[in-house]
Structure 1
Amino acid sequence: MFGFMIVNLSGCITFPTDESLHVKILWDNPLAVNSCTHKGTIIGSQGHFYDYWLHSDKDMVWGTLNEMRIKAHQLNADTVYLYEHFSFLSSVTLIGNAYDCSQLPILGITSVAPANN
């Protein structure tokens, strides 16, 4: 009975969806989103005071990032720029902005015609 209660109380870690797999996560480079279109602010969080000990920190971070990717995709964004994390002992919570960067030109690639010898 106790085990059943624990399983029901514990939240599952969020897994990526097929649609959210393309969403990039960026941090520590604000210039990377300068030419992108801001779509909204998003928050992701995993873990609770009653079940954090059932999940590793790595899994909670991974789940939080997946939750943010899903929310970004719902806003038609392809990039999440992380700005801040909230320090809690029992959960992982991140805040960031969702951007659409799909209209940016591909940088660093030049077209070179083959040499005619």
Structure 2
Amino acid sequence: MVVNGKDHMASYGMNSAVYINLGTNQGVKIGDYFRIFRYQGTAAETVPQTKDYQFMMYGFGSAPQRYSWNDLPREVLGEGIVINVSRNSSTVMITLSSSAIYAGDYTELE
């Protein structure tokens, strides 16, 4: 998870240094790549809407079958490379960013 960034900025992008809560105790090494993504939540955790509203709305069309919330792709915000590592934290330089990255966004080892 992105914990903070250099100079305690509110959002981060390409060429920003961020700190994550994974380190050598979790198997992270200098040079590892991390993917940064935002948790989408479940259908119950998002903005409330009337059930099947999108299918009943005029002109929208109908889907051949209902999709499962877990079938949707998650929102990948960017990726970065580990430039410094300690026991339980790492410094990651963001090398690619498609959207703003905030503290609380999730990371996974590529």
Give the TM-score band, short-chain normalised: under 0.3
Q: TM-score, normalised by structure 2?
A: 0.26
The structure with higher relative contact order (CA 8 Å, sep 6+) is 2
Q: TM-score, normalised by structure 1?
A: 0.25
Greater percentage in strand:
2
Greater percentage in helix:
1
